[in-house]
Amino acid sequence: MRSTLMTSIATLGMALLMLASTPAAAEEDMPVTPSAGLHGSVGIGVGTRPEYEGAKDQKTRLMPNINLFYGDTFFLTGMKAGANLLKYQTAQEVSISAGPLLALRRGRDQGDDAALNGLGNIDRALDAGGFVRFRKQGWQASIDVRQNLTDTDQGATVNFSADHGMRVSEKLRLRTSLDTTWASSDYMKTFFGIDALQSAQSGIAQFEAGSGFKHVGVNLMADYSINREWAGFATLRYRRLLGDAADSPIVANLGARDQVTANIGIKYRF
C-alpha cells in the first residue's frame, strides 16, 4: 500500500513538472465508476493554438495528454490538480462534489509574437482555489474560483462550464461543452492592458483593461477506443474574446477575437 501511494505521488509530481512548461491537451473528468488506486491515461498529441491569448497567428507543437485519478478523490487533469473532499448525492440523483484546486497558469514571452515586442514577459504562475461540480447521468456543470499565488499582479478568475458526454458507438465517445471565464482587473491589466512604459517601448497605444468576462467558448472532444489499453483522441476548441479582452490593442488591432485550438493524438489507459 505504501509503495503504491509513493508511486502515485511520484507520478503526479512528474506530470505537474511536464505541464509547467508544456500546453495541455484534452482533459477528462473523474470517471463515473471509479477504480481503486491510481488509474487514468497518459498520451501525446500534436496540435495548434494561438501564439498568445488573442493572437491571430497559430503555432504547432507536441501536447501532452495527462489524466490521472487516485480512487474517486484525487485528480490531475490537464493543468489542474484537486481533490473531491465533499461528495453528496441528492434525492434527484444529482451528484455534487467540491474541494480544493491547484492550477498552472501559462505565461507569455514577448518573443512569442511580433505583436508583443516591447510589452515584456509574463511569468508562468500557480493558482489556488476551489471547485464545485454537479453531475447527473451524462450532464455536468462546474464552477471553479482561482487566485494566483506566485504573482499577485495576475489576479483571480472564476470559470463556469457545462458539458454533455455521449457514446456514439461501442468505440467512439463524444463530449461537447460550453465555458466562460470572468477575470479580475489585475488579471486583465496583466494580460490585456498596455501601461505607459509598455506603450513607450512598443509603440502601442495605452489601454486600461478592467474586470469582466473575458471569453465564451465551445469545445468538442472525441475518444476512439483502439483496444482495451489504447485510444485515439481529438479536440477542437473555439473561444470568442469579450469585453476589454476583445478591445485590447493586442487583440483588436494586432490579433484576433476568435481563437481556435485543435489537437489529435494517442493515449494509453490503465
Say whether pLDDT at 99 is over 80.
yes
Instruction: Compute the mean pLDDT over every residue in the chain, rounded to the nearest whole number.
Output: 89
Looking up cell 506530470, which residue turns up?
A: 15
Range of the domain at 83: 2-269
The terminus-to-terminus CA distance of the chain in angstroms comes to 18
Mean per-residue pLDDT, 73-99: 95
- Cβ proximity of 149 and 155 under 8 Å: no
What is the tally of structural domains in the chain?
1
Q: What is the pLDDT of residue 192?
A: 98
Residue count of the chain: 270
Q: What is the pLDDT of residue 7?
A: 40
Q: How far apart are CA 249 and CA 179, in angstroms?
A: 24
Give 247's DSSP letter: H
pLDDT tens, position by position, 32-61: 556 779 999 999 999 999 999 999 999 999
Q: What is the pLDDT of residue 3?
A: 42
Q: How far apart are CA 227 and CA 245, in angstroms?
A: 43
Say whether pLDDT at 179 is over 50.
yes
- Cβ proximity of 134 and 218 under 8 Å: no
Q: What is the pLDDT of residue 151?
A: 78
Q: What is the pLDDT of residue 8?
A: 42
Please report which confidence band the pLDDT of residue 180 belongs to, taking 50, 70 and 90 as the band edges.
very high
Residue 98's closest CA among 87, 90, 108? 87
Residue 193's closest CA among 185, 203, 201? 185
> In three state form, how does the secondary structure of 42-85 look?
EEEEEEEEECCCCCCCEEEEEEEEEEEEECCCEEEECCEEEECC
Tell me the CATH number at 115.
2.40.160.40
Q: How far apart are CA 207 and CA 196, in angstroms?
A: 9
Helix (H, G, I), strand (E, B) or coil at 153: helix
118 grid coordinates: 516591447
Please report which confidence band the pLDDT of residue 15 belongs to, taking 50, 70 and 90 as the band edges.
very low
Better-predicted residue by pLDDT, 96 or 33 = 96
